[in-house]
């Protein structure tokens, strides 16, 4: 990293740009009400006024500009109006559309003026359709606002004598980008404005695909050298970290600024290029939480690329996260996606597979609580003298009820319009409709949380109560009700000697598959949602591994008490696909074998196998190559998604005690990376527990 980048990174981390933030968000409620604006018009006005309110910031050392100065996103409805509009409706999280991905190539190949022309043409064609006119005029208003903001930056750059910046802004984002630097500048500004309008988890998509043509032609024409390109890329990445504190999420850092690399082209051939490798190198060099990187691989992926990716894992940022094309693409096709679209998938904020520019999917709507489904069935089944098959049927019914409840909540969804975001979606401007009215894919995704604990609980019951008869149903029910108080030897027996997920032990693994099969069947039987989409079951847990164990106000699922795998009340469940916390498993390969047994053709919303490796594993190039082989094994075994972390337990313990010494320590939380010292204690403790277990 050269001096200029070091300075930029330092200034960003020190938060120097925060001093430029305006004290108050703008107030546009009066004009929205006085003019009686429609919902789409209000959202457009919001984007418009936010852009107008932005101050122009050009730091002396910057080549790619835009720094946010507007602090928040103001309301466009009064609380009273909003509550009457939303009465009886479901809002997804904060309300605005989030966690989808634009087709940024539309911006780079057409420019905002190109997109505007499409809108104007459609407007003339659909003059009789008031709804379409309302949307198209809204979209045009936002385009004009962004062009106005860019013009002010251009003017200021000229005044400062920064001719290079001024001439770039004369070209983009209005016109198609002509080179790598213009493409980065155009994307930087237009993506940041999506955040300004209140949408969040704004994905960056297949960065190495839509950016590569610009870089390649610059390199071929001799306009750019590799080090110059890396420097621009690094500056772009640093800029993405600037406003992380303003981006909403469950915990800070959970901001969905993700990009996807690698994979295949629409024709199925390898999509890996020099930019794929450059992004991995630059990200390892920068050691920042954004952008979070996903790498699409297959069993055929070159080991050298996996070595480069493992060098990034070594940095302990918790990425790249790997998705296995061999499994994901057929899974998406089985869920009704066209093959070419499936081949173009990206990973959303955490792990969900989405199609850029073609999906208005809500892929993180909620989670099925496997521990709740299983625990209720075990307690009631054992108390009622059921056989084990009866407990399994009851579990399946409970899962079905949870899926149906989530589906019904989703059918009451209120999705606010997003005219600006729609500019970068395929078909919206062309056909005169907002993305909130639906895109090509409109599916619902549900996580499947706590699966390993739930499978272990079933396995313990089957083993000790029904197969060996070494534990009576009554005693187990009494022990669970007592939270194992007075039953410590029994708790240990369940925790230590039951069959466990992560050991390639069919006694447990088969029950994991039973749980996911029941989940898949419930989703398939749910049929079509009112949005015309299907329900996609997944393997992620999001924050539910803590919430389900401890309770949370934002949650419909019940808190689960002591469970039959020997877990006491309050202890967290496994995050995503990982062995139950505290279980000593056979090892990483057995763990991959256990999770390879899930039928990913039916379970395709994403959710990674999550593994911690001691940082001592990354000591030398030879062992890094072995980490790359482990990733290849993951793909060869037909697993779906993998998140590898490098952790050192002593460092984490010290960081908890002395946060002031560890401002830069980055860890992976459930599906994203954040600064350790900015996490709530319960999330810190879970990560420490994961790493302690690795140490032994």
588 binds another protein (CB under 8 A): yes
- Judged by beta carbon, residue 443 or residue 574, the one nearer another protein is 574
Q: E-strand spans in 548-692?
A: 609-614, 641-647, 666-668, 673-675
Number of Cβ atoms within 10 Å of the Cβ of 13: 15
- Judged by beta carbon, residue 362 or residue 630, the one nearer another protein is 630
590 binds another protein (CB under 8 A): yes
Q: What is the DSSP letter of 61?
A: T
494 binds another protein (CB under 8 A): no
Phi and psi at 178, nearest 5°, equal -110, -15
Given the rule CB under 8 A, which of 47-55, 72-80, 139-147, 620-628 is the region that contacts another protein? 620-628
Binder among 561, 582, 638, 659 for another protein (CB under 8 A): 582
For residues 593, 598, 603 and 609, what is the CA-based torsion angle, rounded to 10 degrees?
-30
Closest CA to 689 of 584, 582, 613: 582
Strand 292-297 versus strand 321-324 pairing type: parallel
Distance of CA 185 to the CA centre of its chain: 24
496 binds another protein (CB under 8 A): yes
623 binds another protein (CB under 8 A): yes
Phi and psi at 60, nearest 5°, equal -55, -35
Binder among 50, 142, 376, 504 for another protein (CB under 8 A): 504
Binder among 129, 586, 648, 659 for another protein (CB under 8 A): 586
- Residue 455 beta carbon to another protein: minimum distance, rounded to whole angstroms: 19
CB 477 within 8 A of CB 384: no
- DSSP reduced 3-state for 67: coil
- Residue 50 beta carbon to another protein: minimum distance, rounded to whole angstroms: 50
Binder among 7, 413, 559, 629 for another protein (CB under 8 A): 629
126 binds another protein (CB under 8 A): no
Number of Cβ atoms within 10 Å of the Cβ of 561: 16
- Residue 495 beta carbon to another protein: minimum distance, rounded to whole angstroms: 8
Q: In terms of DSSP H, where are the helices of 551-603?
A: 588-595
695 binds another protein (CB under 8 A): yes
CB 645 within 8 A of CB 667: yes
692 binds another protein (CB under 8 A): yes
Given the rule CB under 8 A, which of 388-396, 508-516, 546-554, 687-695 is the region that contacts another protein? 687-695
Strand 444-449 versus strand 362-369 pairing type: parallel
- Judged by beta carbon, residue 142 or residue 593, the one nearer another protein is 593
- Judged by beta carbon, residue 504 or residue 605, the one nearer another protein is 504
- Judged by beta carbon, residue 293 or residue 512, the one nearer another protein is 512
Given the rule CB under 8 A, which of 52-60, 243-251, 624-632, 679-687 is the region that contacts another protein? 624-632
CB 100 within 8 A of CB 354: yes
Binding mask 46-75 for another protein (x = CB under 8 A): ------------------------------
- Residue 649 beta carbon to another protein: minimum distance, rounded to whole angstroms: 9
Tokens 């521990």 appear where?
371
350 binds another protein (CB under 8 A): no
584 binds another protein (CB under 8 A): yes
- Judged by beta carbon, residue 146 or residue 495, the one nearer another protein is 495
- Residue 581 beta carbon to another protein: minimum distance, rounded to whole angstroms: 11
Closest CA to 274 of 316, 312, 304: 304
CB 381 within 8 A of CB 390: yes
Given the rule CB under 8 A, which of 113-121, 285-293, 581-589, 662-670 is the region that contacts another protein? 581-589
**Alpha carbons 253 and 250: distance in angstroms, whole number:** 9
497 binds another protein (CB under 8 A): no
- Residue 693 beta carbon to another protein: minimum distance, rounded to whole angstroms: 6
**Alpha carbons 43 and 63: distance in angstroms, whole number:** 31
- Judged by beta carbon, residue 418 or residue 495, the one nearer another protein is 495
Binding mask 535-574 for another protein (x = CB under 8 A): ----------------------------------------
**Alpha carbons 251 and 75: distance in angstroms, whole number:** 22
CA angle, corner 370, sides to 368 and 376, nearest 5?
Answer: 115
Binder among 91, 147, 383, 637 for another protein (CB under 8 A): 637
Q: What is the DSSP letter of 466?
A: I
630 binds another protein (CB under 8 A): yes
Sheet of 641-647, strands arranged across: 258-262, 292-297, 321-324, 641-647, 609-614
* Helix or strand run (H / E) with residue 134: helix 130-159
Binder among 561, 636, 648, 654 for another protein (CB under 8 A): 636
Closest CA to 379 of 450, 487, 475: 475
- Judged by beta carbon, residue 512 or residue 617, the one nearer another protein is 617
Given the rule CB under 8 A, which residues bind another protein? 496, 504, 582, 584, 586-590, 593, 617, 619, 623, 626-627, 629-630, 632-633, 636-637, 692-693, 695-696
């Amino acid at each position: 990293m050269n001096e200029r980048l070091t300075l930029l990174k330092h200034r960003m981390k020190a938060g120097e740009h925060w001093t430029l933030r305006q004290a108050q968000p703008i107030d546009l409620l009066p004009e929205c009400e006085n003019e009686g604006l429609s919902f789409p018009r209000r959202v457009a006005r919001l984007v418009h006024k936010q852009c107008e309110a932005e101050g122009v910031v050009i730091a002396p050392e910057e080549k790619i500009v835009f720094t946010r100065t507007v602090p928040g996103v103001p309301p466009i409805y009064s609380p009273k109006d909003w509550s009457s509009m939303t009465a009886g409706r479901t809002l997804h999280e904060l309300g605005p559309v989030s966690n989808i991905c634009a087709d940024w190539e539309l911006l780079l190949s057409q420019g905002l003026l190109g997109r505007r022309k499409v809108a104007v043409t459609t407007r003339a064609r659909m003059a009789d359709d008031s709804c379409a006119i309302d949307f198209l005029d809204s979209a045009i208003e936002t385009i004009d606002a962004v062009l106005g903001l860019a013009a002010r930056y251009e003017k200021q750059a000229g005044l400062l004598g920064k001719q290079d910046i001024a001439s770039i802004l004369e070209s983009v984002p209005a016109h198609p980008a002509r080179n790598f630097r213009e493409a980065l500048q155009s994307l930087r500004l237009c993506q940041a404005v999506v955040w300004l309008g209140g949408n969040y988890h704004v994905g960056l998509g297949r960065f190495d695909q839509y950016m590569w043509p610009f870089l390649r032609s610059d390199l071929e024409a001799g306009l750019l050298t590799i080090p110059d390109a890396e420097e621009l890329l690094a500056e772009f990445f640093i800029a993405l970290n600037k406003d992380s504190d303003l981006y909403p999420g469950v915990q800070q850092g959970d901001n969905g600024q993700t990009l996807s690399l690698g994979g295949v082209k629409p024709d199925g051939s390898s999509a890996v290029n020099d930019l794929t490798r450059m992004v991995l190198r630059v990200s390892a060099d920068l050691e920042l939480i954004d952008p979070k990187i996903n790498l699409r691989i297959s069993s055929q992926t070159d080991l050298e690329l996996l070595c480069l990716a493992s060098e990034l894992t070594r940095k302990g940022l918790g990425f790249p996260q790997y998705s296995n094309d061999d499994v994901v693409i057929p899974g998406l096709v089985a869920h009704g996606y066209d093959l070419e679209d499936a081949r173009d998938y990206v990973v959303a904020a955490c792990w969900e597979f989405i199609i850029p520019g073609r999906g208005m999917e809500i892929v993180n709507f909620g989670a099925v609580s496997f521990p709740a489904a299983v625990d209720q069935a075990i307690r009631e089944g054992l108390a009622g003298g059921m056989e084990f098959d009866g407990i399994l049927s009851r579990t399946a019914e409970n899962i079905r009820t949870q899926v149906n409840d989530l589906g019904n909540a989703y059918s009451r969804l209120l999705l606010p319009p997003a005219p600006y975001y729609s500019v970068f979606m395929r078909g919206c401007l062309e056909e005169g409709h907002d993305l909130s009215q639906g895109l090509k894919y409109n599916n619902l995704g549900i996580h499947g949380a706590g699966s390993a604990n739930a499978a272990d609980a079933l396995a313990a019951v089957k083993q000790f109560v029904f197969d060996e008869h070494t534990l009576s149903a009554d005693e187990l029910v009494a022990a669970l009700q007592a939270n194992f108080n007075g039953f410590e030897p029994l708790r240990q027996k369940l925790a230590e000697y039951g069959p466990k997920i992560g050991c390639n032990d069919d006694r447990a693994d088969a029950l994991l598959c039973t749980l996911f099969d029941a989940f898949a069947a419930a989703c398939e039987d749910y049929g079509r949602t009112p949005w015309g989409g299907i329900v996609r079951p997944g393997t992620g847990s999001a924050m539910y591994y803590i919430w389900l164990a401890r309770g949370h106000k934002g949650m419909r699922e019940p808190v689960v008490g002591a469970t039959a795998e020997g877990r006491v009340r309050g202890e967290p469940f496994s995050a995503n696909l990982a062995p139950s916390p505290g279980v000593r498993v056979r090892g990483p390969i057995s763990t991959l074998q256990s999770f390879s047994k899930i039928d990913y053709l039916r379970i395709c919303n994403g959710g990674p196998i999550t593994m911690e490796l001691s940082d001592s594993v990354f000591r030398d190039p030879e062992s890094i190559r072995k980490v790359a082989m482990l990733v290849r094994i993951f793909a060869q075994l037909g697993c779906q998604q993998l998140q590898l972390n490098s952790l050192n337990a002593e460092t984490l313990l010290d960081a908890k005690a002395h946060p002031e010494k560890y401002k830069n320590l980055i860890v992976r939380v459930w599906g994203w990376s954040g600064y350790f010292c900015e996490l709530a204690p319960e999330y810190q403790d879970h990560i420490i527990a994961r790493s302690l277990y690795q140490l032994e």
